[in-house]
């Protein structure tokens, strides 16, 4: 009789463990099917019924992020000159550094202390674009805003750089200009050093070039970005 009770107790234990494992496996399968890939403040999934899309995971300074690639793709013009970055290369590089947000977020203050807001790939919302403050934009709209910004910024860099630069140097400089603005890019000694033809001196300056935010407080994230831009500036172009 005692051995029979032991056998019955063991069977119950095995059945309990097996049941727990089965429930765990079923939960994992369910959770995988329900997994939300975008976990960024302000980021939303576009309506896939009206906007055919696929996802792409990109690296950002704070981890990884899923972005949406919409169809049809945004086309850029004019066509870049030979040995110059394509606009897709600008998007891939700056998109990794900026990240993408589909709703506006506060992004510093202007010289008068008024709050600034950005949306998409770091697009700063300007006067006349107030509708973007409460909008939820699509990936397509984010890329269209980026297109407008990058065309203007690339032309601005061309207008102030007076020495030959290769593809990677242009991409690095446009990335810096995108981040610090027209006035910031012309400030201090980065541009003047470059226009003397001192490429190594320029690379030396980049890591500490405007790495403060919000009242002059040092920002490690900005310095990490500058280090990446310095490394790109020093990378031989193909």
Q: Is residue 168 part of a domain?
A: yes
Number of folded domains that form the chain: 2
Residue 42, in any domain of the structure: no
What's residue 124's pLDDT? 95
**With 50 as the cut, is the pLDDT of residue 42 above it?**
no
Task: Provide the domain limits for residue 158.
Answer: 53-234
Q: Is there a single domain that holds both residue 22 and residue 114?
A: no
Q: What pLDDT, on the 0 to 100 scale, is given for residue 210?
A: 95
CB distance 137 to 104 below 8 Å: no
Q: Are residues 168 and 74 in the same domain?
A: yes
Same domain, residue pair 223 and 142: yes
121 and 152 both lie in a single domain: yes
Within this chain, do residues 26 and 60 fall inside the same structural domain, yes or no?
A: no
Q: How confident is the model at residue 8 (pLDDT cuts 50, 70, 90)?
A: low
- pLDDT tens profile 195-231: 999 999 999 999 999 999 877 899 999 999 999 999 9
Catalytic residue selected from 37, 88, 89, 98:
98
Residues 52-85 have pLDDT tens digits of 333 444 444 445 444 444 444 555 555 556 678 9
Q: Tell me, yes or no, whether 69 and 164 share the same domain.
A: yes
Q: In this structure, is residue 40 part of a structural domain?
A: no
Q: What is the mean pLDDT of the chain?
A: 78
- Closest listed residue to residue 225, CA positions, set 210, 215, 238: 210
Q: Is 24 part of any domain?
A: yes
pLDDT (0 to 100) of residue 199: 98
112 vs 37: which has the higher pLDDT: 112
Note whether 188 and 113 are same-domain residues.
yes
Mean pLDDT of 4-23: 57
213: β partners: 217
Q: What would the pLDDT profile of 91-133 be if each residue is shown by its tens digit?
A: 999 999 999 999 999 988 887 888 999 999 999 999 999 999 9
Same domain, 74 and 22: no
pTM of the shown model:
0.68
Of 25 and 114, the structure prediction assigns the larger pLDDT to 114
Say if residue 31 is in the same domain as residue 95.
no
Residue 105 in tokens:
């977020």
Q: How far apart are CA 98 and CA 229, in angstroms?
A: 13
**89 counts as catalytic:** no
- Note whether residue 44 is domain-resident: no
pLDDT at 65: 44
Query: What pLDDT is recorded for position 69?
Result: 44
What is the mean pLDDT of the segment spanning 142-167?
96
From residue 49, alpha-carbon distances to 30, 36, 52, 109, 163 in Å are 23, 18, 7, 38, 49
**Model confidence at 35: pLDDT above 50:** no
209 lies in a domain? yes
């Amino acid at each position: 009789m005692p051995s029979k009770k032991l056998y019955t107790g063991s069977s119950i234990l095995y059945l309990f463990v097996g049941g727990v494992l089965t429930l765990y496996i079923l939960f994992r399968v369910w959770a995988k099917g329900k997994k939300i890939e975008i976990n960024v403040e302000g980021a939303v999934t576009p309506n896939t019924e009206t906007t055919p899309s696929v996802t792409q995971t990109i690296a950002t300074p704070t981890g990884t992020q899923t972005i949406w690639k919409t169809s049809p793709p945004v086309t850029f013009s004019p066509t870049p000159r030979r040995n110059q970055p394509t606009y897709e290369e600008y998007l891939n590089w700056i998109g990794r550094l900026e990240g993408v947000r589909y709703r506006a977020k506060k992004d510093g203050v202007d010289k008068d202390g008024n709050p600034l807001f950005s949306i998409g790939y770091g697009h700063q919302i300007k006067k006349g674009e107030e509708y973007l403050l409460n909008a939820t934009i699509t990936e397509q709209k984010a890329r269209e805003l980026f297109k407008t910004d990058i065309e203007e910024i690339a032309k601005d860099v061309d207008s102030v750089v007076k020495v030959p630069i290769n593809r990677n140097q242009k991409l690095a400089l446009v990335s810096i200009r995108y981040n610090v603005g027209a006035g910031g890019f012309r400030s201090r000694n980065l541009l003047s050093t470059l226009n003397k033809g001192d490429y190594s001196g320029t690379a030396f300056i980049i890591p500490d070039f405007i790495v403060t935010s919000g009242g002059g407080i040092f920002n490690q994230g900005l310095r990490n970005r500058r280090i990446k831009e310095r490394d790109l500036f020093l990378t031989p172009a193909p």
